[in-house]
């Protein structure tokens, strides 16, 4: 008898956390239980998740930027059905599949002309691994320069160019020849490039961790120096690409011309893993430079039909629904509404971001009573205040958000790109209300934060 997935879901929904505790990552389960994130979601559509009682949750996390077009989009579901119903040949490997060719063509059409060759893989980290290999093969050099605060994935190569020690601790040694510089430190970039041993400088247009980016022409100068010294510029668009920043690609905010870009996350619309590298044809060919090296870099599932069909459907949705333009509009609205909140809440230090990758950074408030609460929490753990806000947004207002990174007092939001004014208003009102509740010190919100600490949650949940 074939397995009945519908029956499994109907009968067993609710066992989620117990199963994970028993068989998967029980530390994550403990964290979710402690911070009140142990919800059972039963359905999802667009910008909303629904629990077992049918209660609606606004998803301002988007699966870490996977659900840019919203959850369970009918166009992507149809693409999956079509592929399955046609009994298409898949991953024959010793052929050239049609759908991967058509998706590569569709991507190239949307990118600047110099990015004209595509390699498909299965994740963001895998795309970064490939980008490192392409850069090394193209330049014959080994050195890599990345930025402090960077997050490029958790496989060994990606981890080697990581700018967050938290994720590295315990997993070394790393790739040789990796250097990190602060955003803005052109002198450091130049002195590394001058050695002649650097294959590439790697940047995220807006860093996923902490939502940081240069406010000046740092990236343009890095690009100029790369050209001068024969190094490549890699733009990691895994989180920023495909509309997230209010432009098709994050590098377009600085009019850059990166030699290599990487994509993943939202490219396949949220059902099937996917990753992609786009580069200049001449760089591509340096990796696949002779017949016996034609698969020297490859991945078994890389061009699988489901991912490719979903990619085509997703690109079409982004265009048909004007999601890039909507992102720019909703991002502007959010920033201006959040700046109004900043006037009323001295605990807000800064609102920053581009499009719909936004950060609300907190600092010590001016009010005396709040100062005490803030100082107390910071003695315990630096993220606790933000975690308290994140938990309250979920428990009191049913809005899903995240702490932006370890060690930062920053709330990060990544709404789906299809939100409207109603969702913007809902979030702003909820944040206003949570920050008003914070003024009651001592009070239930501060107790909540102290409780996290008592449950020995020394590292609040900030996951990629
Ligand atoms: C900018 C960036 N690069 C790479 C990755 C790694 O992607 P994946 O989790 O698909 O390996 C992430 C994931 O969050 C990311 O944000």
Q: Specify whether the CB–CB gap between 226 and 143 falls below 8 A.
A: no
Spatial separation of the C-alpha atoms in residues 378 and 203, rounded to whole Å: 31
Of 72-76, 263-267, 309-313, 383-387, the range with the lowest mean pLDDT is 383-387
CB of 238 shorter than 6 A to ligand 1: yes
Q: From the alpha carbon of 207, which atom of ligand 1 is closest?
A: 1
Single out the residue of 284, 248, 263, 315 nearest to residue 122, CA to CA: 263
Q: Is the CB of 115 under 6 A from ligand 1?
A: no
Q: Is 404 in the pocket of ligand 1 (CB under 6 A)?
A: no
With a 6 Å cutoff on the Cβ, whether 153 touches ligand 1 is yes
Encode pLDDT of 238-277 as tens digits. Answer: 999 999 999 999 999 999 999 999 999 999 999 999 999 9
pLDDT of 433 above 80 = yes
List the residue whose alpha carbon is closest to atom 7 of ligand 1.
Answer: 124
pTM of the model: 0.96
Say if ligand 1 is within 6 A of residue 73 CB. no
Tens-place pLDDT, residues 302-321: 999 999 999 999 999 999 99
What is residue 449's predicted lDDT score, i.e. its pLDDT?
A: 79
Q: Ligand 1 atom closest to Cα of 126?
A: 11
At 458 the pLDDT is 52
Tokens of 116: 């004209």
Instruction: Please tell me if the CB atom of residue 398 comes closer than 6 angstroms to any atom of ligand 1.
Output: no
């Amino acid at each position: 008898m074939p397995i009945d997935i519908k029956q499994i879901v109907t009968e067993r929904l609710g066992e989620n956390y117990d199963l994970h505790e028993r068989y998967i990552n029980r530390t994550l389960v403990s964290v979710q239980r402690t911070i009140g994130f142990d919800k059972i979601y039963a359905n999802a559509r667009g910008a909303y998740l629904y629990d077992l009682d049918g209660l609606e949750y606004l998803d301002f996390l988007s699966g870490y930027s996977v659900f840019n077009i919203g959850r369970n989009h009918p166009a992507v579901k149809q693409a999956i059905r079509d592929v399955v119903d046609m009994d298409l040949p898949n991953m024959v490997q010793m052929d050239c599949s049609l759908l991967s060719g058509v998706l590569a063509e569709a991507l190239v059409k949307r990118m600047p002309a110099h990015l004209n060759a595509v390699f498909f893989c299965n994740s963001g980290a895998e795309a970064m691994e490939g980008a490192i290999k392409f850069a090394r093969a193209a330049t014959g050099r080994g050195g890599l320069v990345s930025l402090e605060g960077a997050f490029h994935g958790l496989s060994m190569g990606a981890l080697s160019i990581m700018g967050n020690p938290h994720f590295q601790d315990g997993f070394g040694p790393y790739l040789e020849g990796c250097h990190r510089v602060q955003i803005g430190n052109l002198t450091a970039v130049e002195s590394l490039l001058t050695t002649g041993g650097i294959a590439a400088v790697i940047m995220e247009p807006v860093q996923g961790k902490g939502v940081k980016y240069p406010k000046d022409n740092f990236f343009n100068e890095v690009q100029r120096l790369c050209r001068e010294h024969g190094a490549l510029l890699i733009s990691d668009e895994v989180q920023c690409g495909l509309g997230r920043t209010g432009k098709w690609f994050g590098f377009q905010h600085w009019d850059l011309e990166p030699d290599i870009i990487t994509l993943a996350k939202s490219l396949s619309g949220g059902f099937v893993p996917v990753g992609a590298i786009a580069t200049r044809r001449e760089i591509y060919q340096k990796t696949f430079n002779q017949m016996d090296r034609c698969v020297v870099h490859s991945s078994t599932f890389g061009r699988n039909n489901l991912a490719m069909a979903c990619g085509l459907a997703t690109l079409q949705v982004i265009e048909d629904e004007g999601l890039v333009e909507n992102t720019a509009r909703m991002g502007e609205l959010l920033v201006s509404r959040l700046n109004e909140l900043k006037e009323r809440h001295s605990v807000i230090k800064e609102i920053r971001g581009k499009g719909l990758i936004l950060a609300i950074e907190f600092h010590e408030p001016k009010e005396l009573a709040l100062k005490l609460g803030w100082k107390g929490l910071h003695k315990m753990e630096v993220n606790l205040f933000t975690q308290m806000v994140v938990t309250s947004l979920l428990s009191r207002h049913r809005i899903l958000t995240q702490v932006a990174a370890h060690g930062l007092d920053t709330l990060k939001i990544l709404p789906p790109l299809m939100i409207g004014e109603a969702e913007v208003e809902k979030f702003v009102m909820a944040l206003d209300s949570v920050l008003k509740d914070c003024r009651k010190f001592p009070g239930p919100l501060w107790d909540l934060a102290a409780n996290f600490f008592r449950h020995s949650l020394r590292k609040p949940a900030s996951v990629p």
